[in-house]
Structure 1
Amino acid sequence: MKPTKEELALQVDVAEWNWLRAHLERGGLIVVAPELEIAEVGERIARDDTATVGAWIETGKLSKPSEGQIAAWDADKAARFSTLIISPYVLMKEH
């Protein structure tokens, strides 16, 4: 059974950048745009909603971290993110 948006919302946590860096190195981090709700994104990925997820990727609302973002987060030791694990991915959204 696939998790609901409500169930996933209860799993959203806060993490510091240095905790997430290992996931970057294995290619598992996905940046969620500020206008999207992280639990909804997680639900769509878990349900294999390729149309919606594909549209978000096409419009840049879901992406891998850019070199500029990585450099900024490396420089800002206080950077914190909302996170949600949807294996094998870790969704992250800047605070």
Structure 2
Amino acid sequence: MSAIKEELATKIDSTDWLSLRAHLERGGVIIVDPMLDLAEVGAAVANDEVKTVERWLLSGLLSKPSAEQIQAWDAESGKSFLCLIVSPYVLAQEERPVKG
């Protein structure tokens, strides 16, 4: 694991949609598909790995929140996300309920 990825992995935090929504106004929120490792995506963004990030964007693994997602998350109080700030972006990944 790269040093930057290791460092970013320690900065992943959990937050709710309301806190995240504030960043939405300035267009800084990027939704990361749960198939991707959040620290890996953060490292790719921080290292300006354009080809990798473009591939994820084109395949839909990275995206801006859609109007439908925003509406659903607004309606779901307490919706939680893992988030990682890689300025100027806030990378967010839906937290999935743990099945037990």
What TM-score comes out, normalization by structure 2 length?
0.91
Root-mean-square deviation over aligned CA pairs: 0.7
Tell me what 2:27 maps to: 27
The 1-side partners of 2:31 and 2:19 are apart by: 15
Match of 1:83 in 2: 83
Moved over 2 A (4+): none
Structure 1 residue 43 corresponds to structure 2 residue 43: yes
Give 1:22 shift: 1.1
- Distance, in Å, in 1 between the alignment partners of 2:41 and 2:68 is 23
How far did residue 84 of structure 1 move?
0.1
* Equivalent in the alignment of 2:93: 93
Partner of 1:63: 63
2:76, 2:11 → 1: CA distance?
A: 25
1:78 partner amino acid: G
Alignment match, 2:17: 17
Q: What's the secondary structure of 1:4's corresponding residue?
A: helix
Write the letter of the residue equivalent to 2:11: Q
Distance in 1 of aligned mates of 2:90 and 2:42 = 9
Counterpart for residue 7 of structure 1: 7
- How many residues matched? 93
Q: Which amino acid aligns with 1:91?
A: L
